[in-house]
């Protein structure tokens, strides 16, 4: 019979984690220091499953999370991540009430519903509307008409928006309210897209569905083209990550906030997290540079005491004792990573931190004992790094990979014909001045001398999160196919490691060719 199990000849070379890492103890290893051996496989990459459970009440459909950084995750990024089956952690470098609104935006997001459609008022001239279309370069020309209280008055159809009618008022040209087809927001139910799809099938020739509330105020707009695109996307393998009420899931980060006397500000933390929970947040991340510390532990304890079922992530740590400590305090998932981040200078400034694969292994045994999940945070530059990280953790947290995406906060900057977006460490001076100093154990006081642990940088603009994630997911599935792993649990079981030398690393990348197209 053909051998489908790995031969004993392989075992001295390709070792399981419990043999490989202890044998390499004393040397910190990161992603590029190791490679994974292939195994017999009857699994096609496209058939692999990527769902991962991080806590009793927190499951993702893909094991990827966007970092709680002010140049990475606000509501737009969190929506895109959840729509792809992952999770976004809204950063805390904004006033608390703004963080609450960001979470609300994600939780209230109805896929396909444009919640703030461009409207016109009855008193405007058609000429003004023409000017607006030209100035804003709108690709559409049908607009809902609302009065100054937001009540729907009618619909301005595209065929009347012509220069010859420039001097006429919108009110003369609109299709009156009584003739406009609408739907009450309550009728959209749990699955607005299916409801809208049915509406468009029933109403021949109508391409826009206006959504109103009980007072006939305009609530939003659904277009036929969006419904058709989303219906197609639904056939995609990885479903959006949703809560039990069908809302997208969303996380928010908090710090171990202190009061004026330097003590943990329990009331403020509880109040703020209470607000986040009220808005439907699915997970809280107590996110700091040094998680194996009293402040972080006490914050987790306070939250666990007040919110029994709330999934809590805490970190960052790089030791088994750090994991045990945070698990004992009540965390469900622990962030691992000190110093691997692409914008991070912690190892240079503080001389502290552990290469990521060794850190993950050291933590993984404690995680197993304490039944908590590990999240590999930072240092991911390619999909192969994610595959390696997932052999020892339940999900990865990425900053730099998403910072150039359209959905990351901030504008695109053009430099010498190339397009970039700003990406900065939360421990950079600029970010700390904006509020993140507590994460690094400093006061928010620009006059005070503090050592930044991050840099301000640029990332090349790289299009939509959908595109970037498609590449990453494809890579993860390939890796799983090579290991014969049909799900992430099997990936963790089947991983066999070997060290790589500098020559091996050179061999791993394209070499001795003139590259015409890069691989990404």
Q: List interacting residues with ligand IMP (CB under 6 A).
A: 67, 69, 316, 337, 341-344, 346, 377-380, 397-400, 425-428, 453-454
Told to judge if 347 belongs to the known catalytic residues of this protein, a careful annotator would answer no
Nearest distance in Å: CB 337, ligand IMP: 5
Nearest distance in Å: CB 144, ligand IMP: 41
Sheet of 218-223: strands edge to edge?
Answer: 113-114, 218-223, 208-212, 182-184
Quick one: which of 5, 219, 224 has its CA closest to 115? 219
Residue ranges of alpha helices (H) inside 245-378 are 266-278, 294-306, 320-329, 346-350, 356-370
Nearest 5°: CA angle at 433, between 428 and 439? 65
Bridge partner list, 53: 59
Nearest distance in Å: CB 328, ligand IMP: 22
**Identity of the residue, 192 or 454, whose beta carbon is nearer to ligand IMP in the bound complex:** 454
Give the integer Cα–Cα distance in Å for 446 and 265: 22
Give the integer Cα–Cα distance in Å for 514 and 100: 50
**Identity of the residue, 331 or 426, whose beta carbon is nearer to ligand IMP in the bound complex:** 426
Quick one: which of 109, 80, 94, 159 has its CA closest to 434? 94
Give the integer Cα–Cα distance in Å for 88 and 80: 8
Q: Which residue in the shown chain puts its C-beta closest to ligand IMP?
A: 454
**Identity of the residue, 220 or 399, whose beta carbon is nearer to ligand IMP in the bound complex:** 399
The number of angstroms, rounded, from the C-alpha of 16 to the middle of its chain's C-alpha atoms is 31
Nearest distance in Å: CB 199, ligand IMP: 42
**Looking at 105, 279, 439, 496, which residue is catalytic?**
439
**Looking at 329, 344, 405, 462, which residue is catalytic?**
344
**Identity of the residue, 375 or 485, whose beta carbon is nearer to ligand IMP in the bound complex:** 375
Give the integer Cα–Cα distance in Å for 343 and 339: 9
Told to judge if 398 belongs to the known catalytic residues of this protein, a careful annotator would answer no
**Identity of the residue, 197 or 453, whose beta carbon is nearer to ligand IMP in the bound complex:** 453
Nearest distance in Å: CB 274, ligand IMP: 25
The four Cα atoms 352, 357, 358, 364 give a dihedral, to 10 degrees, of 110
**Sequence-distant (≥ 6) Cβ neighbours of residue 293 within 8 angstroms:** 256
**Identity of the residue, 144 or 291, whose beta carbon is nearer to ligand IMP in the bound complex:** 291
Nearest distance in Å: CB 520, ligand IMP: 15
The DSSP bridge pattern shows strands 373-377 and 333-336 to be: parallel
The number of angstroms, rounded, from the C-alpha of 457 to the middle of its chain's C-alpha atoms is 20
Residues acting as catalytic residues? 344, 439
């Amino acid at each position: 019979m053909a051998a489908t199990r790995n031969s004993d000849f392989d075992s001295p070379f390709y070792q399981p984690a419990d043999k490989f890492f202890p044998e390499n103890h004393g040397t910190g290893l990161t992603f590029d220091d190791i490679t994974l051996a292939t195994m017999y496989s009857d699994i096609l990459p496209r058939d692999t499953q990527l769902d991962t459970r991080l806590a009793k009440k927190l499951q993702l459909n893909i094991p990827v999370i966007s970092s709680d950084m002010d140049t990475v995750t606000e509501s737009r990024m969190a929506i895109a991540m959840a729509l792809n089956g992952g999770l976004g952690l809204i950063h805390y470098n904004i006033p608390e009430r703004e963080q609450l609104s960001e979470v609300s935006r994600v939780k209230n997001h109805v896929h396909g519903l444009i919640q703030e459609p461009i409207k016109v008022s009855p008193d405007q001239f058609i000429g003004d509307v023409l000017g607006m279309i030209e100035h804003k370069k709108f690709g559409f020309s049908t607009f809902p008409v609302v009065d100054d209280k937001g009540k729907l008055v009618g619909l301005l159809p595209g065929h009347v928006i012509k220069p010859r009618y420039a001097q006429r008022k919108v009110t003369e040209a609109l299709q009156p309210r009584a003739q406009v087809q609408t739907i009450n927001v309550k009728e959209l139910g749990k699955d607005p897209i299916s409801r809208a799809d049915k509406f468009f099938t029933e109403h021949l020739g109508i391409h826009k569905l206006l959504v109103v509330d009980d007072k006939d105020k305009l609530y939003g707009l659904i277009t036929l083209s969006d419904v058709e695109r989303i219906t197609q996307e639904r056939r995609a393998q990885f479903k959006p990550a949703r809560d039990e009420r069908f809302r997208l899931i969303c996380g928010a980060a908090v710090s171990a906030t202190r009061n004026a006397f330097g003590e943990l500000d329990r009331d403020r933390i509880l109040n703020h997290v209470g607000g986040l929970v009220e808005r439907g947040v699915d997970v809280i991340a107590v996110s700091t540079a040094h998680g194996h510390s009293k402040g972080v532990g006490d914050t987790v304890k306070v939250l666990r005491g007040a919110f029994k079922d709330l999934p809590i992530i805490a970190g960052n740590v790089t030791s088994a004792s750090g994991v045990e400590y945070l698990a004992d305090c009540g965390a469900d998932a622990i962030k691992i990573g000190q110093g691997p981040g692409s914008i991070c200078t912690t190892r240079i400034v503080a001389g502290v931190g552990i290469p990521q694969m060794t850190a993950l292994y050291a933590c993984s045994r404690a995680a197993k004992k304490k039944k908590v999940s590990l999240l590999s945070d930072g240092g991911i530059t390619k999909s192969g790094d994610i595959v390696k990280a997932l052999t020892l953790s339940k999900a990865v947290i990425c900053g730099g990979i998403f910072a150039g995406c359209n959905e990351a906060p901030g504008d695109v900057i053009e430099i010498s014909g190339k397009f970039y977006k700003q990406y900065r460490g939360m421990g950079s001076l600029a970010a700390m001045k904006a509020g993140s100093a507590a994460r690094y154990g400093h006061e928010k006081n620009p006059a005070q001398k503090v050592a930044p642990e991050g840099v301000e940088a640029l990332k090349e603009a790289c299009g939509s999160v959908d595109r970037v994630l498609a590449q990453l997911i494809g890579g993860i599935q390939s890796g799983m196919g090579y290991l014969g792993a049909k799900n992430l649990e099997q990936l963790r079981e089947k991983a066999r490691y070997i060290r790589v030398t500098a020559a091996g690393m050179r061999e791993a990348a394209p070499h001795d060719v003139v590259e015409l197209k890069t691989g990404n």
